Amino acid sequence: MTQTAAIIGGGVIGGGWAARFLLNGWDVQVFDPDPDAARKVDEVLANARRSLPGLLDVALPDEGRLSCHGSIAAAVDGASWIQESVPERLDIKHATFAEIQKTCLPQAVIGSSTSGFKPSQLQQGAAAPGQIMVCHPFNPVYLLPLVEVVTTAETDAAVVKSVKRLLTGIGMYPLHLKKEIDAHVADRFLEAVWREALWLVKDGIATTEEIDDAIRYGFGIRWAQMGLFETYRVAGGEAGMKHFMAQFGPALKWPWTKLMDVPEFTDDLVDLIAGQSDAQSGHHSIRALERIRDNNLVAMMRALKAQNWGAGALLQAQETDIRARSVLGQRADDIADPSQPVLTIHRAVPLDWTDYNGHMNEAKYLQAFGDATDRFMELIGCDAAYIASGGSYFTAETHIRHVDEVHAGAIIDVRTRVLGGGGKKMHLWHEMYEGDRLLATGEHFLLHVSLETRRPSDAGPQVDAALRRFAKAQADHPKPEGAGRYVGAPR
Q: How does residue 186 score in pLDDT terms, banded at 50, 70 and 90?
A: very high
pLDDT, mean of residues 434-459: 97
pLDDT value of position 238: 84
Q: Please check the confidence at residue 485 and state whether its pLDDT lies above 90.
A: no
Residue 91 lies in a domain: yes
Answer for the pair 14, 30: CB distance below 8 angstroms, yes or no: yes
- Mean pLDDT confidence for 217-243: 85
Residue 305 lies in a domain: no
Question: Is the pLDDT score of 253 beyond 80?
Answer: no
d(CA 387, CA 372): 17
CATH code of the domain in which 55 resides: 3.40.50.720
Q: How far apart are CA 21 and CA 10, in angstroms?
A: 13
Number of independent structural domains in the chain = 3
Give 255's pLDDT tier (boundaries 50, 70, 90).
low
Task: Give the C-alpha separation, 118 to 379, whole Å.
Answer: 50
* pLDDT higher than threshold 70 for residue 259: no
159 exposed, middle or buried (CB, 10 Å; 0-12, 13-18, 19+)? middle
Whether 229 shows a pLDDT value over 90: the answer reads: no
Cα distance between residue 481 and residue 89, in whole Å: 65
Instruction: Give the end of a domain, one of 159, 177, 195.
Output: 177
Give yes or no for residue 478 having a pLDDT over 80: yes
Lowest mean pLDDT among 80-94, 254-268, 354-368, 390-404: 254-268
pLDDT band at 262 (very low <50, low <70, confident <90, very high): confident
Which residues are registered as beta bridge partners of 83? 7, 111
Share of the chain above pLDDT 70, in %: 98
Same domain, 139 and 258: no
Domain that holds residue 78: 4-177
Is 11 annotated among the ligand-binding residues? yes
Spatial contact of 48 and 408, defined as CB atoms under 8 Å apart = no
One domain for residues 61 and 200: no
How far is Cα 220 from Cα 218, in angstroms, rounded to an integer?
6
Domain at 192, CATH number: 1.10.1040.10
CATH no. for residue 357? Answer: 3.10.129.10
Mean pLDDT of the chain: 92
Check if the beta carbon of residue 311 is closer than 8 Å to that of residue 304: yes
Report the pLDDT value the prediction gives residue 286, as an integer from 0 to 100.
84
**54 contact partners, CB below 8 Å, separation of at least 6:** 298, 302, 348, 349, 350, 351, 352, 353, 408, 409
The answer to whether the Cα torsion of 378, 414, 312, 9 is positive or negative is negative
In a domain, 461, yes or no: yes
Q: How far is CA 38 from the centre of its chain?
A: 24
pLDDT for the residue numbered 281: 87
User: Are residues 166 and 192 located together in one domain of the fold?
Assistant: no
How long, in residues, is the chain?
Answer: 491
Do 172 and 45 share a structural domain?
yes
Higher pLDDT, 404 or 266: 404
Confidence band for 256, pLDDT divided at 50, 70 and 90:
low
Q: Are residues 114 and 242 in the same domain?
A: no
Same domain, 363 and 388: yes
For residue 334, give the amino acid letter: D
Residue 260 binned pLDDT confidence (cut-offs 50, 70, 90): low
**Whether residues 39 and 163 fall in one domain:** yes
Same domain, 341 and 446: yes
Ligand-binding site membership of 14 (annotated): yes
Where does a domain end: 135, 160, 177? 177
Answer yes or no: is 13 a known binding residue.
yes
Q: Quick one: 90 and 150 in the same domain?
A: yes
485, amino acid identity: R
Residue where a domain stops, chosen among 148, 177, 206 = 177
Residue 301 in this model has a pLDDT that exceeds 80: yes
Residues 115, 47 share a domain: yes
Residue 287 confidence (pLDDT): 86
pTM assigned to the model = 0.87
pLDDT at 264 > cutoff 70: yes
Kindly give the interhelix angle for 286-306 and 311-324, rounded to the nearest 10 degrees: 80
Per-residue pLDDT at 54 exceeds 70: yes
Provide the CA 399 distance to its chain's centre, in angstroms: 32
Give the alpha-carbon dihedral of 335, 384, 364, 305, to 10 degrees: 110
* 12 among annotated binding-site residues: yes
The pLDDT value given to residue 473: 96
Check whether residue 18 and residue 90 sit in a common domain: yes
| Domain-embedded: residue 437 | yes
Question: At residue 74, does pLDDT exceed 80?
Answer: yes
**489 assigned to some structural domain:** no
Whether 398 shows a pLDDT value over 80: the answer reads yes
At residue 117, what are phi and psi to the nearest 5 degrees? Answer: -75, 145
Averaged pLDDT for residues 201-221: 93
For residue 314, being part of any structural domain is answered with no
The verdict on 246 and 365 lying in the same domain is no
- What percent of the chain lies above the pLDDT cut of 90? 75
pLDDT at 83 over 70: yes
Mean pLDDT calculated for residue range 57-74: 96
3-state secondary structure the chain: CCCEEEEECCCHHHHHHHHHHHHCCCEEEEECCCCCHHHHHHHHHHHHHHHHHHHCCCCCCCCCCEEEECCHHHHHCCCCEEEECCCCCHHHHHHHHHHHHHHCCCCCEEEECCCCCCHHHHHCCCCCHHHEEEEECCCCCCCCCEEEEECCCCCCHHHHHHHHHHHHHCCCEEEEECCCCCCCCHHHHHHHHHHHHHHHHHCCCCCHHHHHHHHHHHHHHHHHHHCCHHHHHHHCHHHHHHHHHHHHHHHHHCCCCCCCCCCCCCHHHHHHHHHHHHHHHCCCCHHHHHHHHHHHHHHHHHHHHHCCCCHHHHHHHHHHHHHHCCHHHCCHHHCCCCCCCEEEEEEECCHHHECCCCCECHHHHHHHHHHHHHHHHHHCCCCHHHHHCCEEEEEEEEEEEECCCCCCCCEEEEEEEEEEEECCEEEEEEEEEECCEEEEEEEEEEEEEECCCCEECCCCHHHHHHHHHHHHHCCCCCCCCCCCCCCCCCC
User: Is there a domain that residue 401 lies in?
Assistant: yes
142-171 mean pLDDT: 95
